[in-house]
Structure 1
Amino acid sequence: MAIVVLLGTLDTKGEEYGWLRDRLLRRGVDVLVVDTGVIGEPRISADVPRADVARAAGVELARLRAEGDRGAAVTAMARGATETLLRLLGEGRLHGVLAIGGSGGTSIATRAMRALPLGVPKLMVSSMASGDVAPYVGSADITMMYSVVDIAGINTVSAPILANAADAAAGMAQGYAAAARALRPADLGAGGRPLVAASMAGVTTPGVDAARERLTELGYEVLVFHTSGAGGRTLESLAGQGLFAGVLDLTLSELADDLVGGILSAGPDRLTAAARHGVPQVVSLGALDMVKFGPLDTLPPQHLRDRHVRVHNPSITVIRTTEPECAELGRRVAAKLRDATGPTAVCIPLRGLSTLGAPDGPYHDPAADEALFAALRDGLRGSAVDVREVGTHINDPSFGRAAADLLHGLIGAAGGAPAAACA
């Protein structure tokens, strides 16, 4: 029987969790209740008591209660909830998670949900779900449902919303239990094909499309991630979970946004997961010739002076990276790759990094590009990274196909190439 874990604070939301438990049982699933409350007394009994959750975080519940620090208690219980969910999953006693709450309950529950593998059903009903949910969802496949009213009793508005949540969680858990698996490192893509991640932006689409088509011919399923900030974070998260046989990271524009203050940064950990976890990777420098900002009237004044500014669309304005910025980007890319634990190669497209940076494009700047290339070469000198300079533009189909073939070779050397491609 499928098991739905109810995760939440039973001192403040006990009535609602009891109602959800009864609804889930009527839908033909089993239920495990995990209590993450600290201060008040639980209003219903839990299968995993709060003291056990605290202990999973390495602290004693009595200490948390005595200290009376809400922030510390939330942090500890989130850590304990994470360990508890991972344990239940490993024991085969979790096929889905459902939680309800305000800001504190949402913070605890979604931190634990984010630790679960891709594909495990995760549903959060929250009064915070109508705003910016990025801090709660991150790069995980969490379903957020807005509670409309605060979760304070079962009433005319909350009852149908919570009923929908319970019914959805039951259905997802039953489907997951029937499949009897989450996506794990050894899983293959459609038709038994290993998964490869690729990064792409609109200005690198032709080159990445050529690479994707070549990798498909070679027997892979290619998942393309748009370098929009969230896309890069998701790529990093899934690479860290070991989901990919290889990574074709041809577009690094999020690093430029991180350096200069653009709106589509993926944070400082971009371009680290594959290197850290030994995943074969081929990296290029796509779109490092630009930084993305919002509408033109939001562009910081300092970027309007002595800059190549271009309105990409009404929502996005781009500026050309300068020589010093390109040099720093080259150093950062090298620092992230030089200690990679898996086979790694870098392909440098000598004739341009984006559609705007082509020889006839508005962002064509050989001096800035060379500052990027020189810093990258210097930073990787003496490392095991294979650096290849290619006399084409990044969007030349031959560049994409060559990068795909190179990644295929690295995956094969690591023992992960598809049999069909090796025949």
Structure 2
Amino acid sequence: MKTIAVIASCDTKYKEVAYIRECLKKAEVKALVVDMAIGFGRSYEADISREEVVQSVGFKWDEVKDRTKGELMILITDAVKATVLGLYKEQKIDGVLSVGGVQNTTVATSAMKLLPIGFPKVMATTIACGQKPFGPVVGDKDIVVIPSISDFTGLNSITRTVIANACACACGLVQYAGRPLQKGDKPVVGITLMGVTNTGVCAAVEELERIGIEAIGFHSTGVGGAIMEQLAQGGILDGILDLTTHEITSEYFGGGFSYGTAQRLIKPIEQGVPMVVSTGGLDFIDFAKSEFPPRMEERVYNMHNATLAHIKILPDEAAEIGKLFAQRLNRASEGVKLIIPTNGMRKNTKPGENLYYKEVDDVLIKTITENVNENVHVEIIEGNLNEEDWGVRAAHAMVDELKRRGRLDQSYVY
């Protein structure tokens, strides 16, 4: 029988926990309830009590129960993380499920984020609503988030429905899927793209796959680049073809649709992951009309949709971003290849098109090439990054880099 760890505050949510047990039992799945309660009231329904949970990080409940709520939240979060990770490593659970508000969501998803992609994780939460950000809930993992619609104040027609659906979701995952992500037999390359670099990048993907290399795309709009880098550091990816480094520009501006990833490039470069990097999307930012940056009267832009604009950066900004980009590439002790297009870094940037601004492109390229060190191997590739021919040549550069770094044998030819 499959087992799902149920993370819950068993002092205030014991009715919901009892109903979760009932739903899982009907699906012939065992519930293993992990208590995360920090209140003074009695807990019910737990299989792993809060006393056992806090003991996992070296504390006794009676010794810590009088701490402030903030202190207890930090402690219980660490303790639940340790408990759930231990259950996973000991192969005692097949999935994780939780329902609750801010406190429960914070603790439960902190534990879920430690588990691998592919391992079932379901969170029914009150905070999946309105303008609340999605990132803090899921991080860089595949947590299924279900809006609770109403608050969890016991059992009623809405909470029963939402909880039953969350249980069904978790049961379906553990019974019919639920395999943690594993690397296949083929070499695997991560590759970044956006809609405005899609043509060139997809050509690179097709060429890599023709050669016999699996290519996995990551959307460079605030989290994709970070997830790709994490997978590379964990050994799932053999190399990175980072054609769309737009998130670095968003990081420099501190906002926009693609803002969210910090310190792009640094970790995989320092770790020595084989990398081919380019400047896709480095030349623009994406802001809603209500959040336009200063100096709009100097800028050229187009509306990507009814609310979001793609805005070309200015020459002085290009110089600063180019320096930042070069500084990060310079951390590559084992070398990194930089490929630069000559006729635009994304769609709509060729002569005569509405985001063409040659001075910006020239400043970016000049600043980058003048500031990189000898560990950055620069190659100029004629054309626009968003062209099929350019993407094919980028794929070949990745193959060459993998061979140079000993990650690909000579049987892979193009």
Q: TM-score, normalised by structure 2?
A: 0.90
Q: Superposed, which structure 2 residues align to 1:218-367 within 5 Å?
A: 218-260=211-253, 261-295=255-289, 297-300=290-293, 302-340=294-332, 344-367=336-359
Between stretches 280-289 and 406-415, larger displacement belongs to 406-415
5+ residue gaps in structure 1?
none
For the structure 1 residues 49 and 414, does the alpha-carbon distance in structure 2 shift closer, same or farther, using more than 3 Å as the test? Answer: farther
| Deviation of the 1:126 alpha carbon | 1.3
Q: What's the counterpart of residue 109 of structure 2?
A: 110
Q: What's the counterpart of residue 169 of structure 1?
A: 170
For the structure 1 residues 99 and 349, does the alpha-carbon distance in structure 2 shift closer, same or farther, using more than 3 Å as the test? Answer: same
Q: What's the counterpart of residue 150 of structure 2?
A: 149
5+ residue gaps in structure 2?
none
What do residues 20-68 of structure 1 show as CA deviations (whole Å, max 9, x unaligned)? Answer: 1233233222332211112234432533332343344465544542222
Between stretches 400-409 and 154-163, larger displacement belongs to 154-163
What do residues 241-295 of structure 1 show as CA deviations (whole Å, max 9, x unaligned)? Answer: 4322222111122221222232321332333343244332211001111111113
Between stretches 337-346 and 27-36, larger displacement belongs to 337-346
Q: 1:408 aligns with which of 394, 399, 408?
A: 399
For the structure 1 residues 378 and 81, does the alpha-carbon distance in structure 2 shift closer, same or farther, using more than 3 Å as the test? Answer: farther
What do residues 186-232 of structure 1 show as CA deviations (whole Å, max 9, x unaligned)? Answer: x12xxx43332211122222221221111111112222222222433
User: What is the alpha-carbon distance in structure 2 between the residues aligned to residue 387 and residue 53 of structure 1?
Assistant: 53
Q: Report if the CA contact (8 A) 1:289-1:363 is conserved.
A: no
Residue identity in the other structure for 2:306? P
Q: What's the counterpart of residue 398 of structure 1?
A: 389
Residue identity in the other structure for 1:364? Y
Q: What's the counterpart of residue 119 of structure 1?
A: 118
Q: What's the counterpart of residue 12 of structure 2?
A: 12
Residue identity in the other structure for 1:267? T
Residue identity in the other structure for 1:292? D
Q: Report if the CA contact (8 A) 2:266-2:331 is conserved.
A: no
Q: Report if the CA contact (8 A) 1:95-1:176 is conserved.
A: no
User: What is the alpha-carbon distance in structure 1 between the residues aligned to residue 195 and residue 165 of structure 2?
Assistant: 38
Q: What's the counterpart of residue 181 of structure 2?
A: 183
What do residues 92-115 of structure 1 show as CA deviations (whole Å, max 9, x unaligned)? Answer: 112100001111101111111112
For the structure 1 residues 150 and 341, does the alpha-carbon distance in structure 2 shift closer, same or farther, using more than 3 Å as the test? Answer: farther
Residue identity in the other structure for 1:182? P
**Alignment RMSD (CA, Å):** 2.6
For the structure 1 residues 245 and 4, does the alpha-carbon distance in structure 2 shift closer, same or farther, using more than 3 Å as the test? Answer: same
User: What is the alpha-carbon distance in structure 2 between the residues aligned to residue 258 and residue 40 of structure 1?
Assistant: 43
Residue identity in the other structure for 1:163? A
| Deviation of the 1:422 alpha carbon | 6.2
For the structure 1 residues 393 and 96, does the alpha-carbon distance in structure 2 shift closer, same or farther, using more than 3 Å as the test? Answer: same
| Deviation of the 1:237 alpha carbon | 4.0
Q: Report if the CA contact (8 A) 1:349-1:393 is conserved.
A: yes
**Secondary structure at 2:24 match in 1:** helix
2:210 matched to 1:217?
A: yes
**Secondary structure at 1:282 match in 2:** strand
For the structure 1 residues 223 and 113, does the alpha-carbon distance in structure 2 shift closer, same or farther, using more than 3 Å as the test? Answer: same
For the structure 1 residues 418 and 143, does the alpha-carbon distance in structure 2 shift closer, same or farther, using more than 3 Å as the test? Answer: farther
Residue identity in the other structure for 1:392? G
User: What is the alpha-carbon distance in structure 2 between the residues aligned to residue 117 and residue 341 of structure 1?
Assistant: 29
| Deviation of the 1:317 alpha carbon | 1.1
| Deviation of the 1:415 alpha carbon | 4.6
Q: What's the counterpart of residue 35 of structure 2?
A: 35
Q: What's the counterpart of residue 375 of structure 1?
A: 367
2:200 matched to 1:202?
A: no
| Deviation of the 1:80 alpha carbon | 2.2
Residue identity in the other structure for 2:280? G
Q: Report if the CA contact (8 A) 2:246-2:281 is conserved.
A: yes
For the structure 1 residues 60 and 322, does the alpha-carbon distance in structure 2 shift closer, same or farther, using more than 3 Å as the test? Answer: farther
Q: Report if the CA contact (8 A) 2:301-2:355 is conserved.
A: no
| Deviation of the 1:304 alpha carbon | 1.9
Q: What's the counterpart of residue 67 of structure 2?
A: 67
Q: Report if the CA contact (8 A) 2:258-2:286 is conserved.
A: yes
User: What is the alpha-carbon distance in structure 1 between the residues aligned to residue 317 and residue 62 of structure 2?
Assistant: 52
Count of residues paired in the alignment: 411
Residue identity in the other structure for 1:238? L
| Deviation of the 1:413 alpha carbon | 4.2
Identity of aligned residues (%): 30
For the structure 1 residues 312 and 147, does the alpha-carbon distance in structure 2 shift closer, same or farther, using more than 3 Å as the test? Answer: closer
